[in-house]
């Protein structure tokens, strides 16, 4: 079995994430995609605005209705800073017969050389990279032993980010359709990202 892992802060999960996950699934022939919120992401200066539980709830709501999507709470269950190498080692031991690939957008592809223990990570797993507006997919700048583990799959450019969604909500603007209806309702009911 080949499983795509899509990690993220998902603060909140939006349709850009879902389109990327679905594209990666189809183009790379993944059997399933596991959507995995980080507890504390290693690379972000600010803590997530929503709690880990709320971010996971929204991932569950967003995954509903796609039989290939599965929410995974392994990192928020573990707590602390979520380093991919720890997660990969844990998943590999729990699922010895499953191959894993990480699904990442262009900003994360660029950032790969700086991932904690990237040389160990690329020995374990491959990456599926997707285009994202504002970020170059300039593979030449990435060392060959990392670059050779990344497969780029086509993706329509989707100019949606969680940061922009949080900013719009703070200003009282509508973000409907940038997230699924269920996620939108959840944000409204829980007053997420409001001033
Ligand atoms: P933030 O603005 O808070 O960083 P984000 O929109 O970048 O949020 P993340 O949770 O940081 O979302 O991203 C999780 C993964 O999804 C990353 O690999 C990121 O590159 C990818 N991703 C997010 N948005 C898009 C998009 N619009 N198109 C393609 N990939 C995306
Ligand atoms: Mg991001």
Predicted complex ipTM: 0.99
Cβ contact 175:24 at 8 Å: no
Distance 97 CA to ligand 2 centre (A): 31
User: What is this structure's pTM?
Assistant: 0.97
| Domains within the chain, CATH numbers bracketed | 2-158 (3.40.50.620)
**Digit-coded pLDDT (tens) for 150-179:** 999 999 999 999 999 999 999 999 999 999
What is the 3-class SS of 70-92, one letter each residue? EECCHHHHHCCECCHHHHHHHHH
Closest C-alpha to 154, from 18, 24, 30, 5: 24
**Digit-coded pLDDT (tens) for 78-130:** 999 999 999 999 999 999 999 999 999 999 999 999 999 999 999 999 999 99
* Phi, psi (degrees; rounded to nearest 5) at 128: -115, 120
Q: Is the pLDDT of residue 185 over 90?
A: yes
Is residue 122 in contact with ligand 1, taking CB distance under 6 Å? no
- Predicted confidence at residue 195, as pLDDT, reads 85
């Amino acid at each position: 079995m080949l499983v795509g892992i899509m990690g993220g802060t998902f603060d909140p999960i939006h349709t850009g994430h879902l389109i990327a996950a679905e594209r990666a699934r189809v183009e790379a022939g993944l059997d399933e995609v596991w959507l995995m919120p980080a507890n504390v992401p290693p690379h972000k200066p600010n803590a997530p605005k929503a709690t880990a539980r709320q971010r996971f709830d929204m991932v569950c709501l967003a995954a509903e209705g796609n039989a290939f999507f599965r929410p995974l709470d392994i990192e928020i269950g573990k707590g602390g800073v979520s380093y991919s190498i720890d997660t990969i080692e844990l998943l590999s031991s729990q699922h010895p017969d499953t191959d894993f690939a990480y699904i990442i957008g262009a900003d994360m592809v660029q950032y790969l050389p700086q991932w904690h223990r990237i040389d160990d990570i690329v020995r374990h797993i491959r990456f599926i990279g997707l285009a994202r507006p504002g970020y170059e997919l300039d593979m030449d700048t990435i060392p060959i032993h990392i670059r050779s583990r990344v497969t780029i799959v086509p993706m329509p450019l989707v100019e949606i980010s969680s940061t922009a969604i949080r900013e719009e909500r703070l200003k009282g603007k509508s973000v409907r359709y940038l997230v699924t209806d269920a996620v939108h309702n959840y944000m409204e009911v829980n007053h997420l990202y409001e001033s």
